[in-house]
Amino acid sequence: MKPELIRDRILSALPGSEVEVLDTTGTGDHFEARVVSPAFVGKSMVDQHQAVYAPLQPELATGELHALALKTYSPEQWQKWIERTRSPK
Protein backbone atom coordinates (compact mmCIF):
# COMPACT_ATOMS: atom_id res chain seq x y z
CA MET A 1 0.00 0.00 0.00
CA LYS A 2 1.08 3.54 -0.60
CA PRO A 3 1.12 5.89 2.38
CA GLU A 4 -0.92 8.39 0.34
CA LEU A 5 -3.75 5.86 0.00
CA ILE A 6 -3.80 5.26 3.75
CA ARG A 7 -3.84 8.99 4.33
CA ASP A 8 -6.73 9.49 1.87
CA ARG A 9 -8.79 6.73 3.47
CA ILE A 10 -8.31 8.16 6.96
CA LEU A 11 -9.14 11.64 5.70
CA SER A 12 -12.38 10.56 4.06
CA ALA A 13 -13.44 8.74 7.24
CA LEU A 14 -12.41 11.64 9.48
CA PRO A 15 -12.85 14.86 7.50
CA GLY A 16 -10.98 17.87 8.79
CA SER A 17 -8.24 15.78 10.36
CA GLU A 18 -4.53 16.31 10.14
CA VAL A 19 -2.94 13.05 9.00
CA GLU A 20 0.66 12.04 8.61
CA VAL A 21 1.62 8.56 7.42
CA LEU A 22 5.09 7.08 7.38
CA ASP A 23 6.21 3.83 5.74
CA THR A 24 8.48 2.66 8.54
CA THR A 25 10.14 -0.27 6.77
CA GLY A 26 9.94 0.88 3.16
CA THR A 27 8.11 -2.34 2.29
CA GLY A 28 4.61 -0.91 1.94
CA ASP A 29 3.05 -2.94 4.77
CA HIS A 30 4.33 -1.42 8.01
CA PHE A 31 3.23 2.11 8.72
CA GLU A 32 3.09 4.69 11.42
CA ALA A 33 0.38 7.35 11.46
CA ARG A 34 -0.36 10.44 13.46
CA VAL A 35 -3.95 11.61 13.32
CA VAL A 36 -5.24 14.80 14.90
CA SER A 37 -9.00 15.02 14.54
CA PRO A 38 -11.85 17.08 15.95
CA ALA A 39 -13.86 13.84 15.88
CA PHE A 40 -11.68 12.52 18.72
CA VAL A 41 -12.89 15.02 21.29
CA GLY A 42 -14.18 13.18 24.35
CA LYS A 43 -13.37 9.76 22.87
CA SER A 44 -11.31 7.05 24.55
CA MET A 45 -8.07 5.93 22.90
CA VAL A 46 -9.74 2.66 21.91
CA ASP A 47 -12.52 4.57 20.14
CA GLN A 48 -10.00 6.88 18.47
CA HIS A 49 -7.93 3.99 17.13
CA GLN A 50 -11.02 2.08 15.99
CA ALA A 51 -12.12 5.13 13.99
CA VAL A 52 -8.77 5.14 12.15
CA TYR A 53 -8.72 1.38 11.58
CA ALA A 54 -12.29 1.33 10.20
CA PRO A 55 -11.59 2.69 6.68
CA LEU A 56 -8.58 0.34 6.39
CA GLN A 57 -10.40 -2.80 7.53
CA PRO A 58 -10.13 -4.71 4.21
CA GLU A 59 -6.35 -4.38 3.96
CA LEU A 60 -5.87 -5.07 7.68
CA ALA A 61 -7.97 -8.22 7.32
CA THR A 62 -5.96 -9.59 4.38
CA GLY A 63 -2.63 -8.61 5.89
CA GLU A 64 -1.77 -6.37 2.95
CA LEU A 65 -1.52 -3.78 5.68
CA HIS A 66 0.36 -5.66 8.36
CA ALA A 67 1.03 -3.00 10.97
CA LEU A 68 -0.18 0.51 11.54
CA ALA A 69 1.28 2.11 14.65
CA LEU A 70 -1.02 4.91 15.74
CA LYS A 71 -0.80 8.15 17.61
CA THR A 72 -4.18 9.83 17.88
CA TYR A 73 -5.07 13.18 19.38
CA SER A 74 -7.95 15.60 19.58
CA PRO A 75 -6.83 19.13 18.59
CA GLU A 76 -6.65 20.05 22.28
CA GLN A 77 -4.64 16.92 23.19
CA TRP A 78 -2.29 17.67 20.30
CA GLN A 79 -1.81 21.25 21.47
CA LYS A 80 -0.96 19.99 24.94
CA TRP A 81 1.48 17.48 23.50
CA ILE A 82 3.27 20.24 21.59
CA GLU A 83 3.45 22.43 24.68
CA ARG A 84 4.73 19.54 26.78
CA THR A 85 7.53 18.68 24.38
CA ARG A 86 8.47 22.34 23.87
CA SER A 87 8.54 23.59 27.43
CA PRO A 88 11.99 23.62 29.01
CA LYS A 89 12.42 21.69 32.22
What is the spatial distance between Cα 87 and Cα 44, in angstroms, rounded to a whole number?
Answer: 26
Per-residue binding letters, 9-48, with other proteins (x by CB under 8 A): ------------------------------------xx--
Q: How many Cβ atoms sit within 10 Å of the Cβ of residue 26?
A: 7
Give the residue from 51, 59, 46, 45 showing the smallest Cα distance to 3: 59
User: Is position 71 an interface residue for other proteins (rule: CB under 8 A)?
Assistant: yes
User: Is position 83 an interface residue for other proteins (rule: CB under 8 A)?
Assistant: no
Binding site for other proteins (CB under 8 A): 45-46, 49-50, 53, 56-57, 60-61, 67-71
